[in-house]
């Protein structure tokens, strides 16, 4: 399994709850700072990370994302 964190910039207050509905998101929560929420994802193959990030970017109100892949 491959895990990654996707940082999400969005003015929407409930964006973390919307992230929970995206397939492969195992956790999400609001944050303070430059980004407004974090989505923790877990996929079988690294190529799936881009697919999940694209789904998140399509959510109404998402301005931008930044992805970090876990390194073991």
pLDDT in tens, 22-61: 999 999 999 999 999 999 999 999 999 999 999 999 999 9
Selecting from 3.40.35.10, 3.40.50.300, 3.30.70.920, 3.40.190.10, what CATH number does the domain 2-69 have?
Answer: 3.30.70.920
End-to-end CA distance of the chain: 11
Residue closest to 1 by CA, chosen among 41, 30, 37: 41
CA–CA gap between residue 15 and residue 7 (Å, rounded): 11
CA–CA distance, 60 with 47 (Å, rounded to integer): 24
Token pair of 72 as six digits:
């073991």
Q: So where are the chain's domains?
A: 2-69
Tokens standing for residue 5: 């964190």
Residue of 11, 24, 26 lying closest to 59 (CA atoms): 11
pLDDT beyond 90 at 13: no
């Amino acid at each position: 399994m491959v895990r990654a964190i996707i940082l999400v910039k969005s003015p929407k207050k409930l964006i973390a709850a919307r992230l929970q509905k995206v397939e492969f998101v195992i956790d999400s929560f609001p944050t303070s700072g430059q980004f407004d929420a974090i989505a923790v994802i877990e996929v079988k193959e690294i190529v799936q990370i881009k697919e999940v990030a694209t789904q998140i970017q399509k959510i109404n109100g998402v301005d931008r994302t930044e992805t970090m892949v876990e390194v073991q």
